[in-house]
Amino acid sequence: MRTLSISISDLELDKFGIKKDKISFSEFLELVSRELMKQNLNKTIELSEKYGLSKMTMEEITKEVKATRKNAKNRN
pLDDT in tens, 2-17: 988 889 999 998 888 8
pTM of the model: 0.65
Could you give the CA distance from residue 55 to residue 64 in angstroms, rounded to a whole number? 14
- C-alpha 44: how far from chain center: 9
Report the amino acid identity of residue 13: L
What pLDDT sits at residue 16? 85
Report if residue 1 sits inside a domain: no
Residue 7 lies in a domain: no
Q: What total of structural domains would you count in the chain?
A: 1
66 vs 48: CA distance, rounded Å: 19
Residue 66 maps to a domain = yes
Q: Per the domain annotation, does 32 fall within a domain? A: yes
